[in-house]
Amino acid sequence: MNRRQFITFACSAALACPLAANAQQSPPNVPIIGWLRVLPEQGGWMREQLAARALVDGHHVRLDVRQAEGKIERLPELAKSLVRDGAAVIVAFGPVATRAAQAATSTIPIVAGADLVSEGLVANMTRPEGNITGVSLFNLELYSKRIEQLKKLLPDVQHVGVLNDGTMRAAGRRPAMAVAGRNLGLKLAIVDVTRPADLETAFHTFHKEGAAAVSVCNSTLFASLKREIGELSHKYRIPVICEWRYMAETDCLASYGITIQDALAVDYVDRTLRGAKPADLPVVHPKGALTHSRCRPRCSSRQAR
């Protein structure tokens, strides 16, 4: 290769490199879906569900996951950053993340999974008003059914502890669980937890009072403490039933509730991107199911430990 050929080749390669790099980037001006989370999540299933609706990440939309790594105090700034970066819709999971998104914007649609009505995040189920809609996780039936499912899995249990998030506004939760306990002939010990330091005390109370199993109410706080809950369950040898499947796969005896996929209403993300207003989209009220169990039906509490 002579000197002229070498210069021509080098210039061509230099021009080709940035063109190739640009070809791999997302097209300009695609809508940004901001996903605000407390815990880490890669978003694989979200991308699959979006793609099923002809919204391919990196082509039709860009999924931007902002996660607080379990530190809820980071959520307000993460929400503001999504607004600054021009998110077309924000997906939020849990009341704390939803409140952070709500504080950051009153105009960008927010599709949330939380106890939307009881937390005062929407006006009502049928007409949410404002810029928030999604899935209401406040389902009194779920709390009762979770205790009922625990009794089915562990029929010899007579005394059940309940981990309740004392920071949540779900006023009807305690009465609903109390009724379920009475109907099943169970003695319930409901303990409020408002901070991570309360968790050890709660399990010590359950152990002291003779609880043979524990039902964990759904909350962002408990989701962020799933490892600690699992460790205390082993330490005190008390089996636990949780809300979410991912907790049961590693730390809990079983999970009863809805899937996170159902909780985030990807269909509403699609519809808001196509012009629907959150105020016109009724809040969804899903039904629960046993999503995972590491215990065969009618096993004993001793076998579950």
Residues 128 and 146 in one domain: no
Q: Which long-range contacts (CB under 8 A, 24 or more apart) does 86-90 make?
A: 86/32, 87/32, 87/33, 87/34, 88/31, 88/32, 88/33, 88/272, 88/273, 89/31, 89/33, 89/34, 89/269, 89/272, 89/273, 90/33, 90/34, 90/35, 90/36
Instruction: Please state the domain count of the chain.
Output: 2
Percent of the chain with pLDDT over 70: 76
Domain that holds residue 112: 32-137+260-286
Task: Give me the mean pLDDT over the 251-258 stretch.
Answer: 76
Residues 39 and 51 in one domain: yes
Asked whether residue 214 is assigned to any structural domain, the reply reads yes
Residues 96 and 150 in one domain: no
Residues 54 and 150 in one domain: no
CB atoms within 10 A of CB 110: 30
Q: What is the pLDDT of residues 23-82, one digit of tens each?
A: 345 566 899 999 998 877 656 778 888 999 999 999 999 999 998 887 889 999 999 999
**70 CB burial (10 A radius; 0-12, 13-18, 19+):** middle
Residues 89 and 175 in one domain: no
The yes-or-no verdict on residue 210 having pLDDT over 70 is: yes
CB–CB of 137/160 below 8 Å?
no
Asked whether residue 12 is assigned to any structural domain, the reply reads no
Asked whether residue 25 is assigned to any structural domain, the reply reads no
Quickly tell me which residue has 């269909």 as its tokens. 267
Asked whether residue 8 is assigned to any structural domain, the reply reads no
What radius of gyration do the chain's Cα atoms show? 23
CATH value at residue 239: 3.40.50.2300
Residues 155 and 116 in one domain: no
**pLDDT the model gives residue 7:** 42
Q: Is the dihedral of CA 67, 69, 70, 73 positive or negative?
A: negative
| Cα–Cα distance list, 13 to 21, 41, 214, 234 (Å) | 12, 38, 64, 60
Residues 228 and 185 in one domain: yes
CB–CB of 93/67 below 8 Å?
no
